[in-house]
Structures are given as C-alpha cells and as structure tokens.
C-alpha cells in the first residue's frame, strides 16, 4: 500500500455517477499553468505588465508571467497566511494576485475591496485551487475578483484540468493538444497496475511517464502553446460527486487533527477544526522543525508521500520571514478521498513513530 502522490486511474470509481452535473461557467484548460498564460495575455490588453504576488507561491504560478514579460513583485505573508500589501507600494497599473492557502486568503476580501477602490486601474486575480470544493458552486460570490483560476486536477484523478472563471471576454485559441492528458492517462493506469502487484518496473514506468507529461507543461512558453481540457477529463468533471469528495476529505482531516493533536511539541497544526469543516482541504498541513527528516522517513519507511507544496521562489526569499519559515517547515499529509478513517489512523501512527526519536 502507498499513500499520497498522483491519483491512480481507479481513484474516482466510488465517486462517479451516471448523471452529469452542471459545471460553473468558465474556460476549462489543460492545467492551471495554461489558465495563467491566458490571463497574462488578457492583462496585456489593459497595458498591465506588472504583477504583485504573495512571497509564498510555487514556480508554476510565476513562470507564465515571466514568460509573458511581466515584472514580478512579491508581498509579505504574516501569521495565518495573511499578506501585507500597502496601497502606497502600488505605483502603476498592475495585477494583484491573491492566493488561497487551505482557505486562508493572502489578502482578505475587505482588503481587496479597499485596494480596488483606490486602484481602479488594477486587476485582481484569485488562485482558489485550495478552495475549489468550497466555491465551485458559488463562483458568483467571488465577483470582487476580475479573474479566478484553479488547478482542478490536483483534487482527483483527472488527466488534465484547470479553470478560469471571469466575466472578462477572454479570447481563447481552440487548441486541442492532448499529449499531456494522454501521457498522464498512461502513467496513472500504470500506477493502478503497480498498486495491485507492486512490480517495481511499473513504478519506474509510471514515474517516467509523469515526468514526461510535466515536461509538456514546462514547454509552454507563450499563449499560442495553450490547450483546453481533454474530452475525457471534461466528462469526469461533469460526473464526479464533488460533494462526497469534500465530505470524505473533511472527515479524514478531522481524524488527523484529533490523532496528531497529542504530539504538538513536534508538529504544529495550521488549520482549526472549524477551518477544516468550512474549506475541504487539499492536504492536511503541519509545521515541523523536523520537516525534511519526517518527509524522508514517511516515504522510505511507510510509503506515505507527503509533499512540500510551496518551495519559495529564489527572488522571493527574504521578502517575508513568515513565508520563509513556512516554506522550510511545512509538510502536507494526504487526507484525500482514496483513504478511510482507518488509513488516517495508520498515517497518524506512522507520523508519531517517525517523530518518536525526537523526544
């Protein structure tokens, strides 16, 4: 048994229905990266080539803007992932990116409203990947933002899938490059086979194919390389029971919270139970001074793969002490819909064993 990492192709089996559900109106792309490239291109229509981003963000959020010729400015993150962006720092027409960190916004909605009033020439972009299951039925509640994007494929088995939700009339090239999706389909079918018989050759194969698929994304360097979601992934999104996925994730995360609360001398919780319940979590995040050792031991001894999801960008290092600390010490524990309460208890037991030598 392995825990975490990419969703195998059978991971949706218990969550699919015959009836299709209406999806929020938007532009569904191959990935979140494609979505950001489309937004960067649209921003040029408003003579915007500067973006303010929180200091804690992943390279895939930054690269589309760098390739599109944007000047990148970073703003600091404080306690509770709350950012600080003073109006006096915004010197020109710009885009301001707000990120959801497990439902905690880098700029609170009232701050966005205030900045919008003082900077009517700016555009506001929300990356709500971490809040997708909270807001996918209520995109209209996010209308304070000019653009909302999400990398949907992080939530379930989905060969491709990103989304843009905006009232701006974005021009989309009808590109249908499905190489990325096809590679991921092959990879995650191989992962399924590997999990059934633990053949090391299959593990090597699915990892190779996933790396090849990621290289397809890394090769996107202009709007002309953007692609839309593939038909199979679009159908999965229409048929998947998102509410049931949200319910399982909340229950699993609460079990981890309860189980791990007894060792808070070694790890610190980032989320409260109320926050977990109101925003179904992508992972269960913890802070640990022993992050790197814990991550290694969980993978090597127990086959539990806990990612580091925000390695801080080199040019953002030093902008925010809090962001630097989170990047160096946060670990994301899997709590997704593939797993049961019993699995969460096993994962908690492994975390405790992995940290027992730190007493």
Show me where the domains of the chain are located: 21-165, 241-358
CATH 3.40.50.920 holds for 241-358: no
Residue identified by tokens 């700029």 is 107
The C-alpha atoms of residue 185 and residue 258 are separated, in whole angstroms, by 36
**Beta partners for 20?**
none
The C-alpha atoms of residue 344 and residue 58 are separated, in whole angstroms, by 27
The C-alpha atoms of residue 87 and residue 121 are separated, in whole angstroms, by 13
The helix/strand/coil state of 315 is: helix
Architecture of domain 21-165: 3-Layer(aba) Sandwich (3.40)
Determine the angle formed by the axes of helices 242-260 and 341-355, rounding to 10 degrees. Answer: 40
Select from 219, 184, 188, 167 the least CA-distant residue to 34.
219
Tally of helices (H runs) and strands (E runs) in the chain: 12, 14
> Alpha carbon 229 to chain centroid distance?
17
HSE-up of residue 268 (Cα within 13 Å, Cβ side):
9
For residue 105, what pLDDT is reported?
A: 96
Q: Determine how β-strand 147-150 pairs with β-strand 3-4.
A: unpaired
Select from 139, 144, 72, 154 the least CA-distant residue to 110.
144
Q: Sign of the CA dihedral 192, 234, 97, 139?
A: negative
Task: Please give the structure tokens belonging to residue 276.
Answer: 């977990």
The C-alpha atoms of residue 183 and residue 186 are separated, in whole angstroms, by 5
Question: Is the pTM of the predicted complex or chain greater than 0.85?
Answer: yes
Q: What is the pLDDT along the chain (359 residues), one digit of tens a residue?
A: 899 999 999 999 999 998 888 888 999 999 999 999 999 999 999 999 999 999 999 888 999 999 999 999 999 998 889 998 988 888 889 999 999 999 999 999 999 999 999 999 999 999 999 999 999 988 888 999 999 999 999 999 999 999 999 998 888 777 888 999 999 999 999 999 999 998 989 999 999 999 999 998 888 877 778 899 999 999 999 999 999 999 999 999 999 999 999 887 889 999 999 999 999 999 999 999 999 999 999 999 999 999 998 888 888 888 889 999 999 999 999 999 999 999 999 999 999 999 986 55
Q: Sign of the CA dihedral 134, 136, 139, 144?
A: positive
Q: What is the DSSP string of 125-146?
A: EEE-GGGHHHHTT-GGGGTTSS
The helix/strand/coil state of 123 is: strand
Q: Which residues contact 286 (CB under 8 A, 6 or more apart)?
A: 260, 267, 268, 269, 270, 330, 331, 333
């Amino acid at each position: 048994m392995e825990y975490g990492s990419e969703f195998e192709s059978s991971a949706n089996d218990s969550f699919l229905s015959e009836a299709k559900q209406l999806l929020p109106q938007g532009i569904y792309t191959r990935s979140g990266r494609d979505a950001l490239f489309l937004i960067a291109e649209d921003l040029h229509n408003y003579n915007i080539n500067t973006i303010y981003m929180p200091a804690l963000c992943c390279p895939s959020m930054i690269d589309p803007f760098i390739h599109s010729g944007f000047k990148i400015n970073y703003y600091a993150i404080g306690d509770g992932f709350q950012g600080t962006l003073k109006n006096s720092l915004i010197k020109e027409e710009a885009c301001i990116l707000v990120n959801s960190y497990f439902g905690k916004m880098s700029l609170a909605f009232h701050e966005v409203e205030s900045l919008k009033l003082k900077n009517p020439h700016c555009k506001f972009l929300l990356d709500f990947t971490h809040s997708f299951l909270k807001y996918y039925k209520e995109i209209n509640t996010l209308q304070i933002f000019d653009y909302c994007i999400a990398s949907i494929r992080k939530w379930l088995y989905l060969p491709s899938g990103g989304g843009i939700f905006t009232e701006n009339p974005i021009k989309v090239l009808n590109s249908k490059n499905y190489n990325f999706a096809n590679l991921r389909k092959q990879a995650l079918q191989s992962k399924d086979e590997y999990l059934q018989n633990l053949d090391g050759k299959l593990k090597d194969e699915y990892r190779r194919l996933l790396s090849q698929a990621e290289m397809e994304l890394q090769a996107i360097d202009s709007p002309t390389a953007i692609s839309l979601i593939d038909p199979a992934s679009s159908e999965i999104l229409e048929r998947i029971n998102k509410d049931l996925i949200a319910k399982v994730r909340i229950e699993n995360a609460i079990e981890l919270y309860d189980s791990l609360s007894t060792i808070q001398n070694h790890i610190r919780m980032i989320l409260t139970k109320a926050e977990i319940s109101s925003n179904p979590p992508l992972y269960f995040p913890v802070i640990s001074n022993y992050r790197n050792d814990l991550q290694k031991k969980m993978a090597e001894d127990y086959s539990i793969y806990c990612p580091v999801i925000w390695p801080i960008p080199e040019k953002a290092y030093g902008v925010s002490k809090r962001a630097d600390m989170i990047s160096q010490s946060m670990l994301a524990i899997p709590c997704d819909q593939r797993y049961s309460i019993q699995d969460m208890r096993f994962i908690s037991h492994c975390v405790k064993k992995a940290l027992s030598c730190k007493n």
